[in-house]
Structure 1
Amino acid sequence: MDGQYDTMVIGVFAICLIVWLFLALRSWMNRPIPVNLAELKLNENIQDSPALQLLEANGYEVIGGKMKIPLAFEADDSILYSRLFIDYVAEREDSRYLVKTSRRRQPLERSGPVIRDRFLPFLLMYPGCEGLLYVDLEDSDIMVIRLMDYQEDVYDGEDLD
């Protein structure tokens, strides 16, 4: 009788293992593939500008020009369209960066919420990039923006309860 219980336990364990492997494989197959910046088709038409000269003076090689990224959203039964623009794609020491240039009508306040709202979509869309370069033409400055791993002890925000 003891042999039957051992066989049943092993059988249940094997069935659970097979179901778990099947669900893990199905989840892995349905996961979207992140777009790698190295595989991104670049715009080879690079227009000369003060931002381009500032990037090159700081050791960046501009390898792609202005790009439009079309987006579509489904909201209820409607399809809404929008787009994002990348000014350049630059490279330095085998690391690729998306580049956004400053706009006079949209000054950048250097705070967490503003950086999040303006640049997070770009950093999430291309996780293979090293970061985003914000070229401030008025100050002749380049700010490197990277998405960090969250560390609870670094964040001292308010409790949301």
Structure 2
Amino acid sequence: MTRLWRYGLLLSRQRHVAEDLVQATCVRALERAGQFVPGTRMDRWLLSILHSIWLNEVRSRRVRQGQGLVDADSQLSVDGESVAQTHVLAAQVIRRVDALPEAQRETVYLAYVEGLSYREVAEVLQVPIGTVMSRLAAARVKLAEYPPLHTVPNPFTGERR
């Protein structure tokens, strides 16, 4: 559940929406339990369901606003910064990753935070594996453009960590 909630929060940027996404994911998984293939990873299946629900929500929101069908990738970009972090280096990394386009950010999250393989990420996002590799490569290039991370001096020794 924690992994689903983190992914829902990454997509929506709002706690209450993330909670709703997790609940909807659980309901849909129970309704479609017969579609789960024994021997496969349930977490990947649940992440895929959550992703699908989110895309449907983005599309329906656009329709309700009278803007018709739109490319979901263009609507997944959300401005804003995540909650303040206690560790300076972690906060810097999070800000840099957060500045990536949504498709890259989502792919980086699934591959590097959740530890899914490229193939698993492709299945969750319902894109070709080449698209996953391309998004990760583009994200690495973008992240490499930043100057080195700033370290914080240890208040006791003065050394940088």
Q: Which range, TM-score by smaller chain?
A: under 0.3
- Which structure shows the bigger proportion of residues in helix conformation? 2
Which has a greater percent of strand? Answer: 1
Q: Scaled by the length of structure 1, what TM-score is found? A: 0.24
> Which structure has the greater CA radius of gyration?
1
- TM-score of the superposed pair, with normalisation by structure 2: 0.24
